[in-house]
Amino acid sequence: MTSLKDKKIAVISLGCDKNRVDTEKMLGVIEDFASLTSNAEEAEIIIINTCAFLASSRKEAIETIIEFNGLREAGKLEKLVVTGCLPQKFIGEIFDTLTEADVFLGFLDYDLLKEALIESYETGERVNYVGRKKTVESKKRIVSTPLHYAYLKIADGCNNRCTYCLIPYIRGKYVSVPKEDLIKEASSLGDVSELILVAQDITRYGEDLYGKMSLVELIKELSKLENIGYIRLLYCYPDVIDDELIGEIRDNPKVVKYIDIPLQHADDVILKTMNRKGNRDGYLSLINKLKTEIPGIAIRSTFIAGFPGEDEQAFENLKSFLSDAKLFNAGFFAYSREEGTPAYKLKNQVSYKIKQKRVKELYSLQKNISKQNLSTFKGKVLKVLCDGINYDKQMFEGRAYFNAPDIDGKVYFTSESNVEQGKFYEVFVERTDAYDLYGRIYNELT
Ligand code: SF4
């Protein structure tokens, strides 16, 4: 039987933070039968963990596969493995066409990675293992973020069925990870200053498994872990943010006073055609309630511009909502017409040009709001988690409570004394702009 123990494997992770956690678990699987390398040019085996929920992410996945396939001549590449959302949903279309790849696995199949590779080596054939597994057994994980923060994927799939979204057709229905498994996983991550809870919708955690929303219970359990410093909540669904959760964010000192609530739009007609629960007034009163109950809370959201039927008035309604909501930060995306979703068939599709123009307009509107929010920190001292050094700016780089990694701004600061990654510091804020803050060390905290 072929041995893989002398093989070097490189892994490329595309897509969202949920996919990153899948990649980290795949690294844990690989470590048991081969060695890992971060240098693709010296790898005999390259794995590309793909994203596929938008046409642009499928394009990126295929371009990445073709690019790394180029290492068959230039490098040592013997086997190219494609995993994740692209094969999970599109294996029927890509197996015969994507001949660059030797092995295909879905997002639940990577326990079978070794077996699939050995079969491909021994038969010389291309193999398709997509959909062979219903769950992932291996619990080992190799964290790929800087070690002082980590993502915890508490569930997968989604039952919300937004009409523009392919994710339920790729990842299936909502499946919570058992609490005891999450506690074990979180306690195995070492000292983590910031644990970031992710799923397609974290607020529905436990509904399938325990018959009731159990996110607050999970947060309480995770808070007991001494190796976990703070807990940050991403992907909360507006209609299930209740008093219990608001109370937990307010009263639990380990929960970061930050919440990410993807709202997607704020025009009631558009929200209805998106099959989003809730409406403009409901969203606004939720935001005001959060700000009243938890003074200083940073609320982040994401919105889609150019959804079918979004006329000038609907777009104006979205803009006026942003002006009223005064969110801390927000991301904006042009609607992507995805075949297989109900919205694909809708009339009144908006032109590419108008979509791009509206996204730009929304960013500039939010930029002024964010600038105003951040300016209130000038001359103040902020608690900052150091993420490392920004060599371009010749400054240390960190994040305050209102900055999640990768999607929000940064705090850049200087210091006479040495500064360590993963430690908290007090930073005196000297300058702010629309997204970032600049300052100097005021005091070392822990
Ligand atoms: S909540 Fe909506 S947008 Fe998010 S994953 Fe579920 S169906 Fe997609």
**Residue to substitute in 18, 85, 165 for testing ligand 1 pocket (most ligand atoms within 8 angstroms of CB):** 165
Position in ligand 1 atom list of the atom nearest CA 276: 2
Q: What is the pLDDT of residue 73?
A: 83
Contact 110, 134 (CB under 8 A): no
Weakly modelled stretches of the chain, pLDDT under 50: none
Q: What is the pLDDT of residue 251?
A: 98
Position in ligand 1 atom list of the atom nearest CA 158: 6
Q: Given its phi and psi angles, is residue 309 left (phi above 0), alpha (psi -120 to 50 degrees) or beta?
A: left
Q: What is the pLDDT of residue 132?
A: 94
Other Cβ atoms within 10 Å of 211 Cβ, number: 8
Q: What is the pLDDT of residue 138?
A: 76
Q: Is the CB of 173 under 6 A from ligand 1?
A: no
The closest alpha carbon to 344, from 159, 164, 160, belongs to: 164
The closest alpha carbon to 242, from 234, 253, 250, belongs to: 250
Pairwise CA distance, residues 157 & 139, whole Å? 19
Angle, helices 243-251 vs 215-223, to 10°: value is 20
Pairwise CA distance, residues 180 & 193, whole Å? 21
Q: Is the CB of 158 under 6 A from ligand 1?
A: yes
Pairwise CA distance, residues 142 & 144, whole Å? 6
Closest Cα to atom 5 of ligand 1:
200
Q: Is the CB of 201 under 6 A from ligand 1?
A: yes
Q: What is the pLDDT of residue 444?
A: 60
Q: Is the CB of 261 under 6 A from ligand 1?
A: no
Q: What is the pLDDT of residue 209?
A: 97
Closest Cα to atom 1 of ligand 1:
160
Contact 441, 414 (CB under 8 A): yes
**Residue to substitute in 51, 57, 158 for testing ligand 1 pocket (most ligand atoms within 8 angstroms of CB):** 158
CA dihedral 201, 178, 406, 316 (to 10 degrees): 10
Ligand 1 center to 423 CA (angstroms): 35
